[in-house]
Structure 1
């Protein structure tokens, strides 16, 4: 399996300064956004479809809670009406003393680690606006230096080569090119141009203040509760992307990959066609 770059390959300058700076700001932002977002979610650990949560009707698609079964407390997670025992993970977790207590997520998964909605909202909104500003900065810089059109935007030849690139990744035949491969382009385009802007838009749709100035956003996303559900699903997609991204960095040679995102220089395969 080809996991590491050819040591005889040339060093090429691949990552511009703006790309590197915004990348590391996003790492920090997404970390705090995830953990503070889960803190906010614990205030109402349910997801619905529509404008409002159901009282006289049922429109819930996810619920995390606790219930007693034969006198024992257990965590219960319900997805589309089907319930699962999630004791120790969701709904009922183990505290520092080894006792089980009703809590949506373990303390290490939230900021703060204890129930504090106000602090969670402050942290979440601060890093959300930092993310928005950084995303705007990246977009402008990437248009100016052509990083977006040259390296991110998938072209016809990339789509044609995508099946082969997916097969190479599945076999862990990881290449080190001067430019991004087809799967990288499609992944980065999806995250940067689709997922992150949608995260921002759905987050704004949940704000009553924004609703007053732009009520059309509620119609666009099918209601505040639907926007909240989409926001949560996009968060899961970002977590999955981050996990796969880190795994690929480790498999492809972490020193070479980290050097690329710190200094901009990466060693490509010796026989790589320098496009």
Structure 2
């Protein structure tokens, strides 16, 4: 006779779909391109670790921020072309992700919050759980099931959805704009890219701010992956499936 515990264990291990191929492939390409951008960006910044506001900036002018960056990597003329190389990989991959997400309804199904989730008490409860470093519990899963028709074990909560939407439609476009705003080749054709930001040096400073925000997002993202089960979450982003009852961030 099959025990109830064995039946529950069998059900628990049944894989359920989590990430479509578009999300998985673009996710890992973006991860690699962001790592390349960070390494090459640090190399560029080491050459002149001062930030300014306005159109120009040099050692002879007052800086807005002096970055105490140690010489952890040697300056090189190759960092700038590497940076542009990884930047265009990121841009093309991001555009592919956005176009594909609209076609496959990924944004609507997985990232757009349900109207019931946008209530302040629900968002506050989820945010407090995150601040307390709590693992997702049954209460949260039950709330998700009451707000949407999808499986609560394999959906993002409202805080995650809003955060991912802010990164996709806010932070990454800001990266692109501030990056192009530093390029004299682009601003010679479209000067508004720099003037709307306050100048080329302002674009550089805002680009650095975007990097800081991205690093904060990545640190919290990795922490939440750990809380949700690191290997289970990584496996879901590779295979596209997660065991029933499991969660992937």
Scaled by the length of structure 1, what TM-score is found? 0.74
Tell whether 2:118 aligns with 1:159.
yes
Aligned-partner Cα distance in 1 for 2:244–2:215: 28
Look up the SS of the partner of 1:49 in the other structure: coil
Q: Distance in 2 between matches of 1:55 and 1:17?
A: 49
On the 8 A contact 2:20/2:240 being kept in 1, the answer is yes
- Name the structure 1 match of 2:203: 227
Deviation (angstroms), 1:267: 2.8
Matches within 5 A, 1:75-86: 77=68
Identify the residue that residue 222 of structure 2 maps to in structure 1. 246
Which of residues 16, 20, 25 in structure 2 aligns to 1:16? 20
Q: How far apart are residue 169 of structure 1 and its match?
A: 1.7
Matched, 1:173 2:97: no
- Please state if 1:32 is matched with 2:54: no
Between the aligned partners of 2:15 and 2:160, the Cα distance in structure 1 is: 20
Aligned to 2:81: 122
- For 1:1-275, list aligned pairs within 5 A: 9=12, 11-53=15-57, 58=62, 60-64=63-67, 77=68, 90-91=69-70, 103=71, 106-107=72-73, 114-116=74-76, 118-160=77-119, 161-171=122-132, 172-175=134-137, 177-269=153-245
Cα distance in 2, alignment partners of residues 190 and 154 from structure 1:
12
Which one has a larger percent helix, Structure 1 or Structure 2?
2
Work out the number of aligned pairs and report it: 221
Q: What is the Cα deviation at residue 155 of structure 1? A: 4.6
Q: Distance in 2 between matches of 1:255 and 1:44?
A: 39
Name the SS for the 1:266 alignment partner: strand
Whole-angstrom distance in 1 between the partners of 2:183 and 2:89: 17
For residues 151 and 26 of structure 1, the distance between their equivalents in structure 2, rounded to whole angstroms, comes to: 19
**Gap runs ≥5 in structure 2:** 1-7, 138-151
Residues 222 and 268 of structure 1: CA distance in aligned 2, closer, same or farther (over 3 Å): farther
- The answer to whether the 8 A contact 1:154-1:189 is kept is no
Q: Which residue of the partner structure matches residue 145 of structure 2?
A: none
For the Cα contact (< 8 Å) 2:17–2:241, is it kept in 1? yes
Structure 1 or 2: more strand by fraction: 1
Cα distance in 1 for residues equivalent to 2:82 and 2:189: 24
- Partner of 1:42, secondary structure, is helix
Deviations 1:169-219 (A, max 9, x none): 223132573221111101111111110111011101111110111011122
Judged with a 3 Å threshold, the aligned counterparts in structure 2 of structure 1 residues 167 and 267 are, in CA distance, closer, same or farther, namely: farther
Q: How far 1:241 sits from its partner (Å)? A: 1.1
3-state DSSP class of the match of 2:19?
coil
| Separation of aligned partners in 1, 2:244 and 2:49 | 46
